[in-house]
Chains A and B, each alone.
Chain A
Amino acid sequence: MDAAAHSHAAPARQVQVAAPPAELAREPLVLNNHSFGWISDAVAGIAEGKAPKWWWPAFLISFGVMATMGGMIAYLFSTGVGVWGLNQPVAWAWDITNFVFWIGIGHAGTLISAILFLLRQKWRTSINRAAEAMTIFAVICAGTFPVIHVGRVWYAVWWLPPIPNAYGIWPQFRSPLLWDVFAVSTYFTVSLLFWYMGLIPDLATMRDRCKTKIRKFFYSLGALGWTGSNRHWSNYEKAYLILAGLSTPLVLSVHSIVSFDFAVSQVPGWHTTIFPPYFVAGAIFSGFGMVLSLMIPIRTLCKLEDVITVRHVELMCKVILATGSIVGYAYGMEFFIAWYGGNQYELDTFKNRAFGPYWWAYWWMVSCNVISPHLFWFKKIRTNMVAVFIIAAFVNVGMWFERFVIIATSLTRDYIPSNWGDFHPTYVDVLTFVGSFGLFMTCFLVFMRFLPVIAIAEVKGVTPQADPHHPAGGAKDGGHH
């Protein structure tokens, strides 16, 4: 009947059910009506066989950059925190800026895997695996900084986990810094669990495809003997739903607690109630910037344009537009409250941010975070991959500057002028931060070589032929059984 109007669904099959009206039809999530087998081959193929030509140079560069970070950390440990530029009054500078930057990046992965799952956004299936991997690697980068910034790291074991020190004193739980330890380590662990659980069916796919004994051994181990049993799927789907439900409040709590590190203090520019929602929106904003920075090259290099479609990129751009607007609103509201609140120290801090010695950092932040996302109002820009890639890079830069502005410039001026100072980073600060990108990219490239970058089973599940009530799935009686 209406087979022509619905030609992408089932070209060669007899369709006996009326296709939905054209205005209800959406652009398909997997283009060109690919079969289930094609999805397995396209995704699993990336992690099988020889590494593509671009992989080795990319890996060696990333590894070299990571090694630089290792060298800088070794120098820091052997010499002391004096190799960094921070000092009184700016005792938190690039270290904590980098921590907040990286932990924020991770939030997009959890938003995609958990919140979009609860909201039944099926387009998440094409990007959730890589985004969750990004979360895990970003949290590893983030966690490095608070650990190395303490000076004598070998004492860290006494104040990170609740273990009494030599005098039998426990960590004290009235400090948001300790809340942060629990928030970040829980976030890392739960993200890893969620990621692994999603991987189980796909590891079974890898297991059933692989040619060598070594690969078979490791994929079998990871797949835990998964046979695709529906009795198993039933429990699996429930556990997945519950994990999504648990990760949603978790991800909101993590950046809220990170913001408490500042908001609970008395420093002007930090002591603000808007921080938790403002930090969470900023985190998702920056995270989507990083997801796009990774996904746009991946879809081209791995020939996944039919799975990560232009529609997917467009939808991510819209999330950036929405969260970027919240961030812009928060910047404005901070200024308004600084004036309206009538606290002269608060107002001075904000004047100093915008027009003081660090004005350039503030205006970098505003141009990247407030102005650039609004280019995404235009469909022409959202569908232009080069433009999206460049804007995503601006978002990443802007969000790093946001954290720098909040953390470092607030500390340069507090209540007494005799307490004022400046901050100048050293080369060790710079190279440690640059090196963290090497760590991130090395992890990501290794992930791409060994694990499926796209959730194979989940993508199969959102195609029309997976729906037993859709003509493409073989339904004959119009959606009833």
Chain B
Amino acid sequence: MAAGPKTYGIIAEFSRTADVLHAAEKVRDAGFTKWDVHTPFAVHGMDAAMGLKNSKVGYFSFLGGATGYTVGMLMIWWMNAFDYQIVVGGKPMFSPFFAFPVSYECTILLASFGSLGGMLFLNRLPRLHHPLLKNRRFAQVTHDKFFIVIETADPKYSPAATRQLLEAAGAAHIEEVED
């Protein structure tokens, strides 16, 4: 690339929800892949406007839950029916019924960790250094502004044409962000 500071991408600022949504549709239709929309809150319909698929967090939750239930049942069986048997009130050494409440809690516990952990893993978070976080204007994204960001790494990116596309989509302000 050119000498001097490398450019991470181009950011376009919007101030209304509908405007950024329609602009996102245009960027999607132009065939970009390395781009994103940044919003202060989750915008209803944005996933479709960006052409995103259903999130995969559910698999992590299921994995966590299945592990939790299995670990719970095995733990109780191993402790109370295998490693050290104690007769209590003539009850069986192991039964899935009395083992259920604890296994159920373990299911929920590990499924919850799976959901949060899965979300962070899929989002590649925590990531405390990001080119966008250094941009002063971009800090408004957690306040009241919306941004479309197209990375220079996108094969369709070209400094002039991409800027033109975002201008045509109605961006209020456009600037390049250093890497």
Contact = CB atoms under 8 A, between A and B. Distances in A.
Interface string B9-21: 0000000111111
Given A201-B41, A230-B47, A231-B36, A243 B84 contact: no
A226 B101 contact: no
A239 interface: yes
Contacts of A232: 123, 125
A31 interface: no
B61 A242 contact: yes
A246 B108 CA distance: 6
B16 A474 contact: yes
B39 interface: yes
Contacts of A457: 40-42
Contacts of A242: 57-58, 61, 111, 115
B55 A238 contact: yes
Interface stretch (A97-105, A129-137, A186-194, A390-398): A186-194
B22 interface: yes
Interface string B153-164: 000000000000
Interface in A190-215: 190, 193-194, 196-197, 201, 204-205, 207-209
B89 A174 contact: yes
A204 B142 contact: yes
Nearest to B47: A234
B112 A233 contact: no
Secondary structure at the A interface, as helix, strand, loop or mixed, is helix
B41 A461 contact: yes
Interface in A349-367: none
**B interface, how many residues as a size bin?**
35 or more
A190 B41 contact: no
Given A162-B75, A186-B109, A257-B101, A230 B116 contact: no
B102 interface: yes
B139 interface: yes
Nearest to A260: B101
A296 interface: no
Nearest to B138: A227
A179 B42 contact: no
Contact of B105 (A182, A220, A228): A182
A257 B160 CA distance: 64
Interface in B93-116: 98-99, 101-102, 104-106, 108-109, 111-113, 115-116
A226 B75 CA distance: 38
A466 B41 contact: yes
Residue of B39, B40, B44, B144 contacting most chain A CB atoms (<10 Å):
B40
Interface of A: 35-37, 40, 162, 164, 168-176, 178-179, 182-183, 186, 189-190, 193-194, 196-197, 201, 204-205, 207-209, 220-221, 224-239, 242-243, 246-247, 249-250, 253, 257, 260, 457-458, 460-461, 465-469, 473-476, 481
25 contacts: A37-B144, A162-B75, A170-B79, A182-B105, A189-B109, A190-B109, A193-B116, A225-B129, A226-B125, A227-B133, A230-B50, A231-B36, A231-B50, A231-B52, A234-B55, A235-B119, A242-B115, A246-B61, A247-B108, A460-B40, A466-B44, A468-B17, A474-B19, A481-B22, A481-B49
- Please list the 5 inter-chain residue pairs (A to B) with the smallest Cβ-Cβ separation, ordered nearest first: A474-B18, A474-B16, A36-B144, A224-B126, A239-B119
